[in-house]
C-alpha cells in the first residue's frame, strides 16, 4: 500500500513561516480532508505533498522517495493534482482537455487505444461525457470543475490531491464528487482534499487534519478532529457537532 508522508515539513516565505513542523503519514485507499481557516497553509501543504512545491525544511515523500528528487514525469504518472484556481485559457473541447491528463503516459507513437479508453472512463466517472465536444469556455463553472476532475482521473493516478474541489459546485454535484472520491478510495486511490465545508468533511473523510497558522492542530478521525474545542482554537467560533438526518453536521453558533 502506497504511503504519502512528510516529516518536519516547513515552508518559509520571506522570513514568514507558512508551514511549521508538519508530520503526516497517509495511506492510499483513504480520504483525508485538510481543513482550517483562510491562510492556514492548506494549499501550500497540498502543493508540497503533490511534489509541486519544495519545502524549505523537512521533506515530503512518496513511499520513501523524496518528492523533491522524483522526476516530474514519474511523479505525474502516480499523482494527480487539482489546483484551487485552475487556469484554462484556451478554447479547446472538453475531451482535448481531459486528454492532457494522459500526457505523462504518451510516448512517441501518440495516443493509443488504452489512452482513449482511460479518457472515456475518466469522463464517465466525472459525469462529463455529454460535454465531450463542448468548448471548455462555454461550460459553467461547475461543469468545468468536473471536466478538470476528469483530466486528473485520466492518468489513473494512485494519488489524487484536490484543493477545494467542492467549491463552486451545487449541492447535487458536491454529493456526486464526494461519492466519486469515496469510490476512488474504495478502489485503492489515496485522496487528499482541502475543504471549507466542515459537514462535508465529516461525511466524506476517513480522517481530518486541522491546520491553523501553518501547524497541525489535530489529525484524527472526523468526529474527534472537529470537536468544539478544536473549532474554537482553529476558527475562533463556538460550534457543535450534531446529528442531522443526512449525517453529522457542524452547527456554527457564534464567534467565540
Ligand atoms: P490556505 O490555502 O489555507 O488559505 P495558503 O497555503 O494559500 O493558505 O497560504 C498560507 C499563507 O501563506 C497565507 O498567509 C498566504 O498569504 C501566504 N502565502 C502563500 N503563498 C505565498 C507566496 N508565494 N508569497 C507570500 N505569501 C504566500
Ligand atoms: Mg487555499
Residue located nearest, by CA, to atom 20 of ligand 1:
44
pLDDT at residue number 204: 96
Which ligand 1 atom is the nearest neighbour of the CA of 214? 10
> How does residue 246 score in pLDDT terms, banded at 50, 70 and 90?
confident
pLDDT at residue number 21: 98
For ligand 1, whether the C-beta of 42 sits within 6 Å is: yes
For ligand 1, whether the C-beta of 41 sits within 6 Å is: yes
Mean of pLDDT values over 198-221: 97
pLDDT at residue number 111: 86
Neighbours of ion ligand 2 (CB under 5 A): 42-43
pLDDT at residue number 43: 97
User: What φ, ψ does residue 128 adopt, rounded to 5°?
Assistant: -125, 15
CB atoms within 10 A of CB 197: 17
pLDDT at residue number 85: 75
Contact call for residues 62 and 75 (beta carbons, < 8 A): yes
Residue located nearest, by CA, to atom 7 of ligand 1:
43
pLDDT at residue number 99: 96
Q: Are strands 16-27 and 3-13 parallel, antiparallel or unpaired?
A: antiparallel
Element (H, E) at 33: strand 31-35
User: Rounded CA gap, 31 and 51, in Å?
Assistant: 19
Counting ligands in written order, the one closest to the CA of 210 is 1
For ligand 1, whether the C-beta of 38 sits within 6 Å is: yes
149 Cβ contact partners less than 8 Å away, ≥ 6 residues apart:
82, 126, 162, 165, 177, 180
Retrieve residue 22's grid coordinates: 508538519
Q: How far is the CA of 113 from the centre of ligand 2 (A)?
A: 37
Q: Is the pLDDT of residue 18 over 80?
A: yes
pLDDT digits (tens, 9 = 90+) for 164-180: 999 989 999 999 999 99
For ligand 1, whether the C-beta of 212 sits within 6 Å is: no
pLDDT digits (tens, 9 = 90+) for 99-132: 999 999 887 778 899 999 999 999 999 999 999 9
pLDDT digits (tens, 9 = 90+) for 181-208: 999 999 999 999 999 999 999 999 999 9
Q: Is the pLDDT of residue 2 over 80?
A: yes
Mean of pLDDT values over 16-29: 98
Q: How far is the CA of 13 from the centre of ligand 1 (A)?
A: 9
Q: How far is the CA of 44 from the centre of ligand 2 (A)?
A: 7
pLDDT at residue number 194: 98
pLDDT at residue number 90: 74
Averaged pLDDT score across all residues of the chain: 95
pLDDT at residue number 132: 96
Q: Is the pLDDT of residue 141 over 90?
A: no
- As a whole-number percent, the residues of the chain with pLDDT over 90 amount to 90
Amino acid at each position: 500500500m502506497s504511503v504519502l508522508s512528510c516529516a518536519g515539513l516547513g515552508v518559509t516565505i520571506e522570513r514568514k513561516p507558512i508551514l511549521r513542523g508538519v508530520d503526516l503519514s497517509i495511506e492510499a485507499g483513504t480520504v483525508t480532508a485538510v481543513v482550517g481557516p483562510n491562510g492556514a497553509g492548506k494549499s501550500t501543504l497540498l502543493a508540497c505533498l503533490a511534489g509541486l512545491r519544495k519545502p524549505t525544511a523537512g521533506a515530503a515523500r512518496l513511499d520513501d522517495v523524496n518528492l523533491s528528487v522524483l522526476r516530474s514525469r514519474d511523479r505525474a504518472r502516480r499523482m494527480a493534482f487539482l489546483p484551487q484556481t485552475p487556469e484554462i485559457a484556451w478554447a479547446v473541447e472538453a475531451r482535448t482537455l481531459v486528454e492532457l491528463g494522459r500526457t505523462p503516459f504518451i510516448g512517441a507513437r501518440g495516443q493509443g487505444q488504452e489512452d482513449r479508453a482511460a479518457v472515456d472512463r475518466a469522463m464517465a466517472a466525472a459525469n462529463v461525457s455529454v460535454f465531450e465536444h463542448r468548448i471548455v469556455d462555454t461550460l459553467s463553472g461547475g461543469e468545468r470543475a468536473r471536466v478538470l476532475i476528469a483530466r486528473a482521473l485520466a492518468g489513473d493516478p494512485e494519488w489524487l490531491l484536490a484543493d477545494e474541489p467542492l467549491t463552486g459546485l451545487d449541492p447535487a454535484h458536491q454529493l456526486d464528487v464526494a461519492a466519486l472520491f469515496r469510490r476512488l478510495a474504495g478502489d485503492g486511490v489515496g485522496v487528499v482534499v482541502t475543504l471549507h465545508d466542515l459537514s462535508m468533511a465529516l461525511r466524506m473523510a476517513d480522517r481530518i487534519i486541522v491546520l491553523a497558522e501553518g501547524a497541525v492542530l489535530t489529525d484524527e478521525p472526523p468526529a474527534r478532529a472537529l470537536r468544539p474545542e478544536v473549532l474554537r482554537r482553529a476558527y475562533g467560533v463556538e460550534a457543535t457537532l450534531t446529528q442531522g438526518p443526512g449525517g453529522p453536521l457542524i452547527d456554527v453558533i457564534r464567534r467565540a
